[in-house]
Amino acid sequence: MNTNNMENKKVWFITGASKGLGLALAKQLLQIGHQVVATSRNSTSLINAINFKGEAFLPLQVDLSSDQDVAAAIRQAHQTFGQIDVVVNNAGYGIGGSIEELTDKETRDSFDINVFGTINVIRHALPILRAQASGHIINISSIAGIAPAIGWSVYGAAKHAIIGLSEVLADEVKELGIKVTVIAPGAFRTNFLQTDSLVLSERKIDAYANIRASHERYTQMNGHQAGDPEKAAKAMIELAEMPEPPVYLLLGSDAYARAFSKLELLASSYKQWEALTKSTDY
């Protein structure tokens, strides 16, 4: 291990670390000598997936929708390592279906993990980061939070929420020495499109044939996604080393293309209705 890594040794708190980008990140960090607190719904699968023996790794079983569970996890992380340098809100899952097809429970469960879980972690981590006058919060949204696709309205809404709260949070904590980045990844070759990371509405309404077709396109992509999770993890580690990290970071050439077509769509749409927009002024 080189001395540079030892000098920059950080304590990372990562949610949803038993698979996907969270797993790739946790493994790389431990390999290069950082300390990692990793959470998952199931600590056994987390320990097996990360497969690291040593005191630098603290695996925790946490229900992110429980404010008490999250508070206890943050407290344990701080007591174990004495500080928290980087918080990565990575836990989340995809939810597909029209608004009409998805039940209230399916929708709320999705927001509990994708949105409220992130908010709970931030709320409990902030007092520690404030006391340190340092730290970096990295929230994983999705390109769906910028340019959602048909059949993913609730997922798009949840990921939009992560972008909205991150933008404001970045301004609120800047003077406190805390940095915030929201990452919008495109499609990565993880198990995100498998049943343990993806919920499709139980109810299917025949009228929504376009939604079924959209879901099929996405599930057929499994194993052929453009993004490499190992390279995404490397980019996140690089991000945490930056003295002035960006507030927004797209990951993947597909995310880049989708974000820019959305940008153009917004610009032309706003412009097109300029007269009507301004007609409401006193």
Catalytically annotated residues: 141, 155, 159
Query: Chain centroid to CA 23: how far?
Result: 13
The neighbour count for residue 255, using CB atoms within 10 Å, is 24
- Of 79, 86, 26, nearest in space to 50 by CA: 26
Distances (CA, A) of 79 to 69, 73, 83, 94: 15, 10, 8, 33
Instruction: List 57's β-bridge partners, or say none.
Output: 36
Q: Residue 230 is encoded by which pair of tokens?
A: 């190992």
Distances (CA, A) of 26 to 15, 86, 275: 10, 12, 51
